[in-house]
Structure 1
Amino acid sequence: MSFKIAIIGAGSVGFTKKLFTDILCVPEFKDIEFALTDISEHNLGMIQAILDRIVEANGLPTKVTATTDRRKALEGARYIISCVRVGGLEAYADDIHIPLKYGIDQCVGDTICAGGILYGQRNIPVILDFCKDIREVAETDAKFLNYANPMAMNTWAAIEYGKVDTVGLCHGVQHGAEQIAEVLGANSPRELDYFCSGINHQTWFIDLRLNGRAIGKDELVAAFEAHPVYSKQEKLRIDVLKRFGVYSTESNGHLSEYLPWYRKRPDEITRWIDMSDWIHGETGGYLRYSTETRNWFETEYPQFLEAASKPIDPARRSNEHASHILEALETNRVYRGHFNVKNNGVITNLPQDAIIESPGFVDRFGINMAAGITLPEPCAATCMSSINVQRMSVHAAIAGDIDLLKLAMLHDPLVGAVSTPEEVWQMVDEMVVAQAAWLPQYADAVPAAKERLAKSKVKTREWAGAARRKVRSIEELRAEKAALKQAG
């Protein structure tokens, strides 16, 4: 079979390579075309060279093209995959650093919270441009697979305003399931049957079965507390499990940002996080990791290119959803996964318009969601807090309404727990002014925001956060990698 896949933001080199090799693990897909597009010609050149090397090494007829002309890449595409980061690390740094001046300490800041809300404002106008091109030049009824955060806001905008068949994809569920299988002593994650539901990054393992045996709260708590690593790295997640009765799919650091209880006091932050890796709660952890990864890739590129000469191994196909969804749609081999879609009655105690993450089955007829799910009340309540923020944020981004944007920020659980209304109003002004280059919908609001900032008497502070680590140099990364290799 032959069809075209366009990847927007293909300069996300490592992730694009993973998606590419996953898809080519499907035997029927060897004749397809990949059209790569990105705003960075430099990154496009690097990833095309890697993918061309993979095609050559495996003797495949697969076609790979690369262009900075997004519309050209989308022409005739049946599937469009987005993994963009609008504003790059420059804007992302503002998402972390400006809120710190107002006492808001984020680990990731890309879903809700101060950083995630502004990230959504940057993404949504671009997402709507993608959708316009998809409607006009892609295959009729093309499917848009969104991997970019903030997942719920981007998917909401694409479905509601972009009018494109869209599904949001994340790997938090799979990673959480791997943890659970490990602490329960499973020989393989495949022994664990799990059912998760909620919203992206706040999805809950509401049913767990190990080799057919139901796993309850007490057994799961005991297993996590007995684990020599997770008992230290996932303290907050375990505490939520004890109080809510179900385990969250999201990492310790990410989960801490979505709840108003664990990151509002600096001394409490250090109590609940672990500094062994960024994902467990470090201040600005993902920003540091992303910066180091970019630097590392630029320096070590020849090694990445050399590794691309190895044969594709289907046994090492990842659990990222994209390749499995495409395989199911094109070959009718049924795939079960957890997908981000508009609720429409799937979860009974969440709003109809919300973007939920829940189980579904894929075959040649499309994505078919398991419906009639009722979340435990505490889980639904926590999800509702975020959904209300997401809805206001999407509407603000569509309208360029800075007043609604401030109200969305005020209602964010962590922001509201830390900052006063006056601080929130000034913080939003400061973030919109700093990121004006990526916020075209707020162009008319920027001059007034600058005037208010010039007259403001709200005090801020220079604060690195409760648990900050410096960005490591390439030399430091090499030394740590060598030490780990020697120790292993």
Structure 2
Amino acid sequence: MRLTILGGGGFRVPLVYGALLTDRGEGRVTDVVLHDTDDSRLHAVRRVLDEQASTVSDAPRVTATTDLDEALRGADFVFSAIRVGGLQGRADDERIALAQGVLGQETVGAGGIAYGLRTVPVAVDIARRVARLAPDAWVINFTNPAGLVTEAMSRHLGDRVIGICDSPVGLGRRIARVLGADPHEAWIDYVGLNHLGWVRGLRVAGRDELPRLLADPHLLGSFEEGRLFGADWLQSLGAIPNEYLHYYYFNRETVRAYQEAGRTRGAFLRDQQADFYARARRADVSALDAWDRTRAEREATYMAENRETAGAGERAADDLSGGYEKVALALMRGIARDERTTLILNVRNRSTLCALDAEAVIEVPCLVDANGAHPVAVDPLPGHATGLVCAVKAVEREILAAAASGSRASAVKAFALHPLVDSVNVARRLVEDYTAVHPGLAYLT
């Protein structure tokens, strides 16, 4: 089986390859094709993968190319993890938003909109090429903003594109661990959009254990989201929000913390990864060791400003291991081998959430089999959550409209309608400032 990884020079590619090395079953991935526009990054990542495979017999063969069409031909699965504009683009997104007093995080608020506006046209081009060159391939999308990009690609690939994210996986794992349950045996009732969802129940042997957690302030304070949001707020909600909702519920404090930080998250990652790629290309350096050290620092500092604002402390050691690569592997195995499983994924809504139309991509538990991912029936969201989901989905639709038409007015509307942008005039200035620095937004007129 052949897997093509778009963004193959990306820092987290070794996580995916590491997961593939653990799969020894029939029908496993035997060929990996890395595609990237930066040949030097491809070379560095290949050095890491070569070291990973050095002690594994019959490891998947790795090739690399900067030719997108060549990479797609013959693919059974396409894993998309591109970053349009690179980490400098992310740093610019954050800096420009914070200068206007609004959030610049890469998937939430103004920064997420800017990232989406320059990413959607590229993702749509990829989807069209997949449909033409590899019509039987399944696309697994990890490109952020994941829900938005998956919806853009689904207009050309239908249900053959599925979005994944490690955030719900980590949240469910932490809740199960606190409750003494096996995460693999628990049913996690998680509903929303990507980076905008809530755990409303965790069932073990048919019994919902979440009320026990919500009733115990000590238990709530024993894991990351409990410390991040506070026991009182979680008890008021009657649910455990995805960590990214901290940007919404505590927006003023978060924006201030990011403004006061010495450098933004994007700038930190830009500098950190520049150092990694420089070292990984040196013949006298173990690329795998350099990658391991860099990844440990990256994971330990994840959402550091949010945790500092909430007094949440350091991340637990068990939360430093990622998880999206395991979701990707489970998804590929489920489809390729018809190994039926349940995963939280980004798929088209159909009739799952009555407040949204059938084509809207949502993030919910799905049953996976040889025919793809099928969202399960869920109870409606409460009013406050429905309002937030509908507002953000309306923003995503304006981004899609702007990307399709090149309409600057639609781009302004996308910013202005977002719950975390508090003025139409701010929205106009954001569009002006973003188009001034991002060549990928030159299409807006």
Same fold (TM over 0.5): yes
Whether 1:349 and 2:346 are equivalent positions in the alignment is no
What residue number does 1:143 align with?
138
Kept after mapping to 2: 8 A contact 1:178/1:189: yes
The aligned length equals: 411
Aligned residue among 417, 426, 440 for 1:438: 440
Kept after mapping to 2: 8 A contact 1:348/1:372: no
C-alpha deviation, 1:111, in angstroms: 2.0
C-alpha deviation, 1:40, in angstroms: 1.0
What residue number does 1:10 align with?
8
SS of corresponding position for 1:50: helix
C-alpha deviation, 1:441, in angstroms: 2.2
Q: Which residue identity does 2:199 align to in structure 1?
A: F
SS of corresponding position for 1:125: helix
C-alpha deviation, 1:130, in angstroms: 0.7
- CA 1:231–1:54 in 2, change beyond 3 Å: closer, same or farther? closer
Percent identity over paired residues = 25
Provide the rounded CA distance (Å) in 2 between the counterparts of 1:377 and 1:180: 24
Kept after mapping to 1: 8 A contact 2:2/2:29: no
Provide the rounded CA distance (Å) in 2 between the counterparts of 1:164 and 1:130: 15
What residue number does 2:177 align with?
182
5+ unaligned residues in a row in structure 1: which ranges?
Answer: 276-280, 310-315, 446-488
Q: Which residue identity does 2:367 align to in structure 1?
A: F
- The correspondence of residues 315-330 of structure 1 with structure 2, limited to 5 A, is 318=323, 320-330=326-336
Most deviating of 215-224 and 193-202: 215-224
Kept after mapping to 2: 8 A contact 1:332/1:364: yes
Superimposed CA distance per residue, residues 74-127 of structure 1 (whole angstroms, 9 cap, x where no aligned partner): 111111101111001221122111112211144xx2224111001001101110
Q: Which residue identity does 2:198 align to in structure 1?
A: W
C-alpha deviation, 1:326, in angstroms: 1.1
- CA 1:214–1:66 in 2, change beyond 3 Å: closer, same or farther? same
C-alpha deviation, 1:343, in angstroms: 0.8
Whether 1:234 and 2:234 are equivalent positions in the alignment is no
What residue number does 1:47 align with?
45
- CA 1:179–1:308 in 2, change beyond 3 Å: closer, same or farther? closer
Superimposed CA distance per residue, residues 303-329 of structure 1 (whole angstroms, 9 cap, x where no aligned partner): 4436999xxxxxx99563111111111
In the superposition, the TM-score normalised over structure 2's length comes to 0.83
Whether 1:111 and 2:107 are equivalent positions in the alignment is yes
What residue number does 2:376 align with?
370
Aligned residue among 96, 99, 120 for 1:98: 96
What residue number does 2:201 align with?
207
C-alpha deviation, 1:4, in angstroms: 1.3
- CA 1:366–1:163 in 2, change beyond 3 Å: closer, same or farther? closer
C-alpha deviation, 1:366, in angstroms: 2.1
Superimposed CA distance per residue, residues 282-305 of structure 1 (whole angstroms, 9 cap, x where no aligned partner): 797532442354145236533443
- The correspondence of residues 232-311 of structure 1 with structure 2, limited to 5 A, is 233-235=227-229, 238=231, 240-248=233-241, 250-251=242-243, 254-257=244-247, 259=248, 262-264=250-252, 286-298=265-277, 301=280, 302-305=285-288
5+ unaligned residues in a row in structure 2: which ranges?
Answer: 293-320
- The correspondence of residues 3-82 of structure 1 with structure 2, limited to 5 A, is 3-13=1-11, 15-27=12-24, 28-29=26-27, 32-60=30-58, 62-82=60-80
Q: Which residue identity does 1:166 align to in structure 2?
A: V
C-alpha deviation, 1:219, in angstroms: 3.3
Whether 1:124 and 2:124 are equivalent positions in the alignment is no
SS of corresponding position for 2:276: helix
Give the superposed CA RMSD: 3.0
